[in-house]
């Protein structure tokens, strides 16, 4: 697989975002994208197999059962672009269905080079596929692919899992608007959305009994230590999962166990924490089936089809750029 490496100064951007997030008035926060370094990506693969976390299995079931139907609805020929491919395991079903129809160019976009390598190992055995990876932010990678599309080629963008739920609702629509601006009429987007479910089920999924999600969350502080020479004591922070009923989301936080000061030299920052103070690291918003149609319309898409898992409330939504 050819990988187009990132050209920006990743460490500088990370340090800048850490400085901005930890000096934010009121609630300290860090962007959730930084959870997914090499260690974080590996831990998330484990989370996706835990019995409490049914989202990934629901995603895979829908793709496995409906891949041929999804592909049959696409205008040909298409190139596939995936925003946040991860290991690529669940993408296999769609790619195999498409490759039975045409030779397929697949462009996974990831900020983790190890995830791109894992994706290539997972999918390289598929016949009639060419894989070109982009170590980029989502929109940057999509822009680059779109700039080099062939004249008669449609783009089929995959945004699977529940990644759209990491944005608040307004920001999620704004992101979809940005995706739509890059696409052309007739291009398609397959959007994964986690649906509303009982609080007890959500809390178990985001605070599992084995502590894998806690390790995943705490690894963000370990990453700051590794990459920015910080001195976070991970034993002095605890993973917390909270339901936000107003936002219809579940949040992940890291709570300081005591009053403490942490030095982050590469971010030119010494940051103080009060006992009980938290860093907000991720939100996962949950949707009703009806609002997905409205969200699509607001972003310049029409929802052509929706498939819902009957074991874990999760939907795959096929959107077409208008």
- Give the chain's mean pLDDT: 94
Using CA atoms in the order 265, 267, 272, 274, what is the torsion angle rounded to 10 degrees?
Answer: -120
Per-residue pLDDT, averaged over 172-195, amounts to 98
Predicted confidence (pLDDT) per residue in 8-19, tens digit: 467 899 999 999
Between CA 71 and CA 113 the distance in angstroms is 28
Domain count, the chain: 1
Predicted confidence (pLDDT) per residue in 36-45, tens digit: 888 998 899 8
For residue 5, name the pLDDT band (cuts at 50, 70, 90).
Answer: low
- Whole-number pLDDT of residue 7: 46
Q: Is residue 39 in some structural domain?
A: no
Model's pTM, two decimal places?
0.93
Give me the CATH number covering residue 303.
Answer: 3.40.50.150
Predicted confidence (pLDDT) per residue in 115-131, tens digit: 888 899 999 999 999 99
Closest C-alpha to 285, from 196, 205, 214, 204: 196
Q: Is residue 125 in some structural domain?
A: yes
Between CA 203 and CA 216 the distance in angstroms is 15
Outline where DSSP puts E strands in the chain: 2-4, 28-29, 78-83, 104-110, 129-135, 154-159, 188-194, 237-244, 249-256, 260-264, 269-273, 278-285, 301-308, 314-321
Q: Is residue 30 in some structural domain?
A: no
Per-residue pLDDT, averaged over 162-168, amounts to 95
Residue 132 clears pLDDT 60, i.e. is over it:
yes
Report helix angle 212-228 to 10-22, nearest 10: 110
- Whole-number pLDDT of residue 191: 98
Q: Is residue 263 in some structural domain?
A: no
Predicted confidence (pLDDT) per residue in 61-70, tens digit: 999 999 999 9
Predicted confidence (pLDDT) per residue in 221-257, tens digit: 999 999 999 999 999 999 999 999 999 999 999 999 9
Between CA 212 and CA 162 the distance in angstroms is 18
Residue 314 clears pLDDT 90, i.e. is over it:
yes
Q: Is residue 172 in some structural domain?
A: yes
Q: Residue 141 in contact with residue 107, Cβ under 8 Å?
A: yes
Per-residue pLDDT, averaged over 146-159, amounts to 95
For residue 212, name the pLDDT band (cuts at 50, 70, 90).
Answer: very high
| Backbone torsions φ then ψ of 201, nearest 5 degrees | -65, -40
Which domain does 164 fall in, by range? 55-197+288-321
Q: Is residue 302 in some structural domain?
A: yes
- Whole-number pLDDT of residue 318: 98
- Whole-number pLDDT of residue 38: 86
| Structure token digits, residue 81 | 């672009």
Q: Is residue 204 in some structural domain?
A: no
Q: Find residue 282's DSSP bridge partners.
A: 252
For 16-54, the DSSP string reads HHHHHHHTSSSSEE--GGGG-SHHHHHHHHHHTTSTT--
Q: Is residue 235 in some structural domain?
A: no
Predicted confidence (pLDDT) per residue in 253-282, tens digit: 999 999 999 999 999 999 999 999 999 999
């Amino acid at each position: 697989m050819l990988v187009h490496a990132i050209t920006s100064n990743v460490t500088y951007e990370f340090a800048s975002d850490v400085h901005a997030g930890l000096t934010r008035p009121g609630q300290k926060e860090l962007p959730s994208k930084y959870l997914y370094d090499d260690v974080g990506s590996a831990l998330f693969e484990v989370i996706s197999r835990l019995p409490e976390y049914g989202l990934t299995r629901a995603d895979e079931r829908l793709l496995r059962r409906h891949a041929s139907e999804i592909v049959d609805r696409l205008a040909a020929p298409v190139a596939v672009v995936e925003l946040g491919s991860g290991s690529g395991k669940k993408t296999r079903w769609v790619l195999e269905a498409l490759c039975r129809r045409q030779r397929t160019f697949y462009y996974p976009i990831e900020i983790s080079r190890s995830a791109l390598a894992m994706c290539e190992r997972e999918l390289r055995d598929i016949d009639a596929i060419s894989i070109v990876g982009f170590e980029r932010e989502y929109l940057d990678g999509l822009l680059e692919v779109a700039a080099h599309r062939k004249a008669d080629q449609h783009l089929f963008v995959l945004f699977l899992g529940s990644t759209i739920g990491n944005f608040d609702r307004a920001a999620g629509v704004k992101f979809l608007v940005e995706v739509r601006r890059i696409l052309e009429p007739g291009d398609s987007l397959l959007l994964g959305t986690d649906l509303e479910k009982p609080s007890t089920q959500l809390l178990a999924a985001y605070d599992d009994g084995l502590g894998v999600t806690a390790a995943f969350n705490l690894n963000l502080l370990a990453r700051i230590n590794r990459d920015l020479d910080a001195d976070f004591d991970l034993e002095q922070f605890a993973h917390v999962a909270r339901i936000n009923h107003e936002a219809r989301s579940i949040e992940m936080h890291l709570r300081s166990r005591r009053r403490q000061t942490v030095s982050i030299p590469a971010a030119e920052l010494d940051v103080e924490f009060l006992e009980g103070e938290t860093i907000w690291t991720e939100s996962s918003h949950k949707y009703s089936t009806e609002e997905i149609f409205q969200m699509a319309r607001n972003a310049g898409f029409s929802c052509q089809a929706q498939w819902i898992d009957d074991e874990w409330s999760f939907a795959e939504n096929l959107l077409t750029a208008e």
